[in-house]
């Protein structure tokens, strides 16, 4: 018993150590974001200093990062609304098809999920260029909706599979039409799954970088593009970019708290990083 407890404690300490090393880059950035440049550039690194929130204020208000936040929010929310509603319908359709056909569809979706994004980015850019859609929300929302579809459908389908088939039959006998069976019988049962899918989809859109890099412009730039440009600049802006990076991370920490029970399902289907 004594030995068992000892090994458990050693194991716990080891895993805590690993987690701590993993968190160093995040903690270091948090510290940098509340340090004066004098302290940030000291060797050896300073752990004790007078903290300040000045840089958070500067970057979000004076450097107008709030505008990129608004762009990110508009694009992500529009994407989620469109993507999850049509994806849910498709997932329902697939879940009710015969297995051969549905397997074919799911395979096709998996193939689409594996498309190299850079290959799609080129025609997107050329088409958006000719349609005058560069630097519009429309182009970004369309692109993100399309690349979100395979993931959304796969994930929603896994929730629809839990709906017992007898319920559908009973509803049909009661005289419900196809749409009513979907909206009144299936949807209420998968509602929790709907929220999970929406949150993952939101995360995917919020994090997306490549398409945002080529399709957005000065008016529609999203947070990842803004921070990538800003962070790569002169290192004397270090505290400012660190403050922006931390600000971008905070909503994600909130997402993670909400999704913790569902992380495995979502992550296995390729959420977070598509």
Partner 1 sequence: MPTERWWLFLLPSGLILSSVMLYPLAYAFYLSLLNYDLGSGSHAFIGLGNYATLLTDQRFWSSLGQTLLIAVAAVGLEFCLGLTIAYGLYRLTFGVRTLNLLMFLPHIITPVVAALFLRWIFVGRWGLLSSILISIGIFPPDWLGSPNWARLTVVLADSWQFTPFMILVLYAGLNTVDQSQIEAAQIDGIGIWGLLFRIMMPAIKPLIVFVLAVRFMDAFRIFDTIYVLTSGGPGTATETITMYTYALAFRLLEIGKASALGVLILIILATLTGLLIAVAYRRERGVL
User: Which tokens go with 251?
Assistant: 């909503």
CA-nearest of 87, 125, 79 to 105 is: 87
**Of 61 and 249, which CB lies nearer to partner 1 in the complex structure?**
249
DSSP 198-223: HHHHHHHHHH--HHHHHH--TTT--H
**Of 60 and 92, which CB lies nearer to partner 1 in the complex structure?**
92
**Of 219 and 229, which CB lies nearer to partner 1 in the complex structure?**
229
CA-nearest of 196, 202, 206, 204 to 248 is: 206
How many angstroms separate the CA atoms of 159 and 92, rounded? Answer: 9
**Of 9 and 61, which CB lies nearer to partner 1 in the complex structure?**
9
CB of 68 to partner 1, least distance (A): 12
**Of 14 and 192, which CB lies nearer to partner 1 in the complex structure?**
14
CB of 255 to partner 1, least distance (A): 7
CB of 90 to partner 1, least distance (A): 4
How many angstroms separate the CA atoms of 132 and 130, rounded? Answer: 5
CB of 227 to partner 1, least distance (A): 6
User: Which tokens go with 259?
Assistant: 């999704």
How many angstroms separate the CA atoms of 150 and 43, rounded? Answer: 49
CB of 230 to partner 1, least distance (A): 9
């Amino acid at each position: 018993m004594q030995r068992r407890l000892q090994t458990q404690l050693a194991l716990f300490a080891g895993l805590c150590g690993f987690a701590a090393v993993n968190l160093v880059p995040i903690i270091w950035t948090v510290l940098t974001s509340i340090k004066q440049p004098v302290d940030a550039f000291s060797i050896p690194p300073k752990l004790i200093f007078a903290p300040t929130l000045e840089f958070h204020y500067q970057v979000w208000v004076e450097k107008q990062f709030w505008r990129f936040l608004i762009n990110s929010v508009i694009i992500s929310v529009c994407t989620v609304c469109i993507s999850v509603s049509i994806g849910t319908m498709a997932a329902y359709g697939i879940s009710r098809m015969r297995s051969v056909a549905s397997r074919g569809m799911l395979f096709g979706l998996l193939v689409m999920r594996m498309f190299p994004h850079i290959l799609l980015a080129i025609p997107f850019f050329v088409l958006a260029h000719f349609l005058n859609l560069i630097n519009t929300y429309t182009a970004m929302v369309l692109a993100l909706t399309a690349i979100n579809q395979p993931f959304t459908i796969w994930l929603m389908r896994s929730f629809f599979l839990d709906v017992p088939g007898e319920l559908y039959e009973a509803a049909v006998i009661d005289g419900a039409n196809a749409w009513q069976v979907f909206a009144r019988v299936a949807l209420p049962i998968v509602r929790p799954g709907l929220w999970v899918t929406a949150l993952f989809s939101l995360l995917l859109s919020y994090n997306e970088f490549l398409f945002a890099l080529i399709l957005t412009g000065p008016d529609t730039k999203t947070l990842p593009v803004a921070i990538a440009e800003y962070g790569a600049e002169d290192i004397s802006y270090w505290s400012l970019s660190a403050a922006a990076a931390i600000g971008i991370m905070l909503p994600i920490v909130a997402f993670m708290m909400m999704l913790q029970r569902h992380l495995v399902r979502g992550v296995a289907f390729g959420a977070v990083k598509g």
